[in-house]
Each structure stands twice: as structure tokens, then as C-alpha cells.
Structure 1
Amino acid sequence: MAEIKAYPFVRQLRSEASVHIQSFSRGRRRRSGRGLAFWFAPDGASIVEIPMDDRDLPFLFNSRSRDFQAVSVQGIVVWRVADPESLAERIDFTIDLRHGQHLGQPLDQIATLLTGLAQQQAAQYLLDRDVGAILAAGVEPVQAQIEGGLTASPRLGEMGLEVVAVRVADISPAAELQKALRTPTFERLQQQADEATFQRRALAVEKERAISENELATQIELARRQEELIAQEGSNARDRAQADAAAKHIASEGEARTIRTIQQARADMERARVAIYADLPAHVMLGLAAREFAGKLEKIEHLNVTPDMLTALIGDALAKRAS
């Protein structure tokens, strides 16, 4: 926006380099250029200010496809003024000489013009295709259609306007149609998810079965080893019992042989002693018996000698003397 300072009888205008200024006095153009600064008399003066920088124009419009489905197109058109003098002849850019603001809405007129042309190009593209093909192709074809149509438009060239770029951000159908189009994909993805869940559960069941089989095999192996251990322990116990029985048998036989040897020795000694006593006289035997008997007695209080004993002793002594 131009800066205007008021002084008595005259005024001063200062403009930026991004705007084109045209000054008219009494119907004649006095000055024309970018970034001008000058003094002027307000009486009979008219000043035009045209922006020369690139301008962004967002757009959003609805159209329909060949199969009568509502489709909305959203994007932006970047435009600029290529010929300010031609544009000033078509659209009024006159500014207020006090505040430097446009008296009308020239930028809105340009926006309406560009939006209408862009919508016309997009509608031509959409009407030739079904909504499925439009959505599958994406934003590039309709963007190229709009940009090509605006660039080749003779009206914009005559007005001194130039389209710098066109960017289409989104093409979307109506909410109901969008939901309907999403349903097959959603169902397919849901089926894939269900299949993945089923496979995961099947894999989990298979793993559980493998784990159970491993546990069962481990239990069977442990039972077999335990059976072998019990059998081995039984065999070891039998071997130990047999070894103990054999050892006891050997010990018993040894002890029996020892006892038999001792008894045999005792018997031999007894036979030898009996053989010694066999030839002794009776009185000697009697005397030995008495001595043996006396040796085992601690105290003798009475001793009875019968006639029979004396008769036998005397008889034996006489028999020996006679011989």
C-alpha cells in the first residue's frame, strides 16, 4: 500500500518497489513505474496502484464425475501481474488520495476470475472420468489440466495476468461415497488382519502342541530312566544281598571249619587222655579223681569213707602186689 502524506495544497506519495504506480492528472497519464515517490496536487489527480509481487489464491470448489458423484477439489493458484498498464485498463486499481487504499476490490475481481477459470478446467477433467479413475489417478492430472488451461487462456493474457503455478492439494468425494469406497479396502484389510490373527493363533497352538509333546517325551524319558534306575537299584540290591549271603556263607563255613577243627582237637585230646587213663589202676584213678575233686572244692567239712570204697581199694592194692 502506498504511503501518502498530506501538506497544504500538495501531497507526497511514496510507494514500495513491489507495486506499480500510475499517476493521472486531468485525464492524462503523468507518471508510470514501480516504486515511485513524487509530489502531486490532489485536485484533478488520480493514482493507480497495482501489486507486482506473486499472489497466492486458495480455491475449493465442488464438481461431479462422469458417474454423477460429487467431488471436491482443493488447491492454490499462484499469479502475478505481467502487464500492469493492460490490467489497469481492465480493472480499476484507483487508490484513495488520503489513505492510499484501493477504492474498490480489484484483487477480489481477479480472484473470482481465476477461481472460475480453474473450476472450469477441473470440471472438464472430472466430467470425462468416473470417480474411481479420478481418485486412482491422484492430483497430478487435474493439476496439469488446470495449469494448462489457465496458462493458455487468452483472457488472462489480454488482461496482463500471468499464472505462475498451480498446486492441487486434495481431491475427495462426498463423505458417504468416501465411506463406501473405503469399505472394500477396509474389509480386505480386516480379512487380512483376521487371517493374520488366525495364523498367529494357529502358530501358538502348534507351539503349545510342540511344547506338550516335548514335555510328554521328557516325562516318558524320565519314566524310562527311572525304570532303569529302579531296575539297576534292584540288581544292585540283589548283587549286594548275594554278596552278603556269599560272605556270610564263607564266614559260616570258616567258622564251622574252625569249630570242627577245635572240636576235633578236643576230641583227639580227650581220646589221648582217655587212652592214658585206660591202663592206670583203679586206685590210681580213684586217687586222681579224688585229687581232681578236691581241687574243685574250696572247703571240706565232712568226708565219709565207706567200707565199699576201702574194700575196692584194698582189693586193687593186693592184686597189684601179688602180680
Structure 2
Amino acid sequence: MTTIRRFPFVSHATSDATRFLVHGTGGSIHPRGTGASFWFRPLGSTLSEVPVEDLELGSIVRVTTSDRQEVSVQLALTVRIVEPELAARRLDFAIDLATGEWTGRPLQTLQNRVAEAAGQFTARTVARTSLAAVLGDGLELVRDAVRAGFAAEAHLADSGIEMVSVRVVAVRPEEDVERALQTTVREAIQAEADRATYDRRAQAVDRERAIKENELHNRTELARREAELVELVGSNDLRRTEQELDRADLRARADLAGKRLEVDARVDEIARVAAAENEALGTRLAAYDAAGTTALLASIAPDVLAALPRIDSLTITPDMLADALGRVLAEVRS
């Protein structure tokens, strides 16, 4: 805002660095520039303060799509006054010479003009586009259309105004349509979530089945190995039993062979003893045969006496002795 100091018959004006002052007097316009400071006579003078900084203007436009659906488009526009003297001629930027404030609402007028032009460009673009396309690509479509429209529009350029940037903040349908779209999207999201839940459950079931199959496979493998172990143990026991039987058979055969050898040795010994006794008996018989009766009796007397019972006392009568001596003498004589 311009600061004005009043003195008798004259006044002094000082502007900010972002405000351009235009001094009109006597039907002539004198541009003073930004940050100007000068003296002027209030009588017969006019002052216009034109902002030269970037002006942020907002606008909400309600338009209808090609499928007869109403949408609201929120725009954010940045404009700059590049020719302040020309703008002061086209718009009322006059200020009060006592307070330094605008006498009108030039920024509101500027915003209305820019918003009307932007709304026209937006409506022309959206009217040729369906609701789905506007909601999907509306930000880029509207932005490009508004930017191209302002580039081709000569009205702002003739007023010394330049469009710096165009931004589309939001494109929204009517509340009931938006609620319906949200419901559709929400149902789709819920369906996707349910599908994800079912997939997760299916994966869990598959993992559980895989775990059970793995456990069954492990148990089957363990049972097979146990069967192999039992078979191997049985085979080892059978082999051990067969070996023990073989060893017992060998021991029995060895014992039988030893007993046979012992019997054979005993038989041989008995045969040798019998043969020796037979030979001795033959010798004795031959000796007995060569000897007489007396010698024979004398030789067998010890055996006979040994075979007779024990006699503690013997009584010999003369008759018995005479008979015996007679027989002995008879034998001797013969």
C-alpha cells in the first residue's frame, strides 16, 4: 500500500517495491515506477497503484460433462501485471489521496475476468469429455485447455496481464455421484481384500497340506527305514543263529570224532592187550603142554587157591595123605 503524507498545498507519496505508481495530472499520465517516492499537488492529481508481484487467484467452476454429469473444477491461477501503465488504463487501480487505499476493488475485478475466462475454457473442454475421462485425466486435460486458452486470448495481453501458471487442484463430481463412485471403488477394494484374504487362506491351506504331506512322507520314510532295520536285525539274528548252529555242529562233530578216536584207541589197546594175553596164554599153554601133570598142577595151584574160599585151618588125615601120595607116586612112575 502507498503511504501518503499530507502537507499544506502538497502531499508526499511513497510506494512499496511491489507496487507501481502512476501519476495523472492535467490530462497526462506519468509513470513513477516501483518503490517511487515523490511530491504532488492533491488538487488536479490522481494516483494509481498497480501491483507487479505474482497474484494468486483461485476459482471453482461447475461444468457439465458430455454424459450430462455435473462436476466442479477447482483452479489455482497465477497472473502477473507486466505492463502496469497499460493495466492502469484498463482497470481501476486508483487510490485515495488521503489514505493511500484503493477506491475500488481492482483485484476482485481482475479475478472475475480471469475466472470467467478460465471457466469458459474449462467448460468448453469438459463438455466434450465423459465423466470417467474427466475424473481420470481431468487434471491434465483442463490444465492444458486453460493454458492454451489464455495463450490464445488477447484480452489479458491487451490489459498488460500475463498468465504465469495454471494449476488444477481438484476435479470432483456431484456428492451423490461421488458417493456412488466411492461405493463402487470401495466394493472393488473390499472384493480385492476378500480375494486377498481367500488367497491367503488358500495359501495357508496349501502350506498346511504341504506340511502334512511332508510329515506323512517323513513318517512313511521312517516306517520304511524301521522296516529295513527290523529286516536287517532279523537277518543278522538269523545269520547269528546259523553261525551258532554251525559252530555247535562243528563242536558236535569234533566231539564225536574225538570220541571215535578215543574208542578206536581203546579198542586198539584192548585188542593189543587181548593179543598179548592170548600170546601169553598160548605160551603158557605150550609150557603146560610140555610140562607134566605135576608141573601143571603146580602152576595152576596159586590160581586155584586164589579162587578157593579162605581156609583158616586144614585137617589132613592119614588116609587122605596116603591116597594122595599114592596117586602122586603113580603119576611119577608113569
**Cα deviation digits, residues 47-76 of structure 1 (max 9, x gap):** 211112332212223333344423111121
Match of 1:56? 56
- State the shift of 1:263 in Å: 4.6
- 1:247-286 matches, cutoff 5 A: 247-266=247-266, 268-269=268-269, 276=277, 279=281
Task: Give 1:120's aligned amino acid.
Answer: Q
Q: Is the 8 A contact 1:81 1:161 kept in 2?
A: yes
Question: Which 10-residue stretch deviates more, 3-12 or 106-115?
Answer: 3-12
Q: Is the 8 A contact 2:82 2:161 kept in 1?
A: yes
Task: Give 2:39's aligned amino acid.
Answer: W
Matched, 1:34 2:39: no
- State the shift of 1:149 in Å: 3.7
Question: Which 10-residue stretch deviates more, 145-154 or 224-233?
Answer: 145-154
Q: Is the 8 A contact 2:24 2:45 kept in 1?
A: yes
CA distance in 1, matches of 2:315, 2:140: 165
Match of 1:70? 70
CA distance in 1, matches of 2:100, 2:171: 40
Task: Give 2:56's aligned amino acid.
Answer: D
- 1:144-183 matches, cutoff 5 A: 144-153=144-153, 155-183=155-183
Task: Give 1:93's aligned amino acid.
Answer: F
CA distance in 2, matches of 1:17, 1:308: 186
Gap change, CA 1:42 and 1:202, over 3 Å in 2:
same
Task: Give 2:311's aligned amino acid.
Answer: T
SS of the residue 1:249 aligns to: helix
TM-score (norm 2): 0.71
Matched, 1:306 2:305: no
CA distance in 2, matches of 1:233, 1:85: 114
SS of the residue 2:226 aligns to: helix
Question: What is the root-mean-square deviation of aligned Cα atoms in Å?
Answer: 4.0
SS of the residue 1:87 aligns to: helix
Question: Which 10-residue stretch deviates more, 105-114 or 124-133?
Answer: 124-133
Q: Is the 8 A contact 1:16 1:34 kept in 2?
A: no
- State the shift of 1:288 in Å: 9.8
- State the shift of 1:114 in Å: 1.8
Percent identity over the alignment is 32
Gap change, CA 1:155 and 1:249, over 3 Å in 2:
closer
SS of the residue 1:103 aligns to: coil
CA distance in 2, matches of 1:95, 1:62: 35
CA distance in 1, matches of 2:7, 2:301: 193
**Cα deviation digits, residues 139-192 of structure 1 (max 9, x gap):** 222223333444444544554433333222221112331232344455445545
- State the shift of 1:117 in Å: 2.6
Question: Which 10-residue stretch deviates more, 45-54 or 146-155?
Answer: 146-155
- State the shift of 1:42 in Å: 3.6
Matched, 1:243 2:243: yes
CA distance in 2, matches of 1:148, 1:42: 44
Task: Give 2:144's aligned amino acid.
Answer: A
Match of 1:103? 103
**Cα deviation digits, residues 185-208 of structure 1 (max 9, x gap):** 554455455445545544554454
Q: Is the 8 A contact 1:18 1:34 kept in 2?
A: no
Q: Which runs of 5+ in 1 are unaligned?
A: 290-303
Match of 1:127? 127
Match of 2:231? 231
Question: Which 10-residue stretch deviates more, 139-148 or 67-76?
Answer: 139-148
Question: Which 10-residue stretch deviates more, 85-94 or 246-255?
Answer: 85-94
Match of 1:11? 11
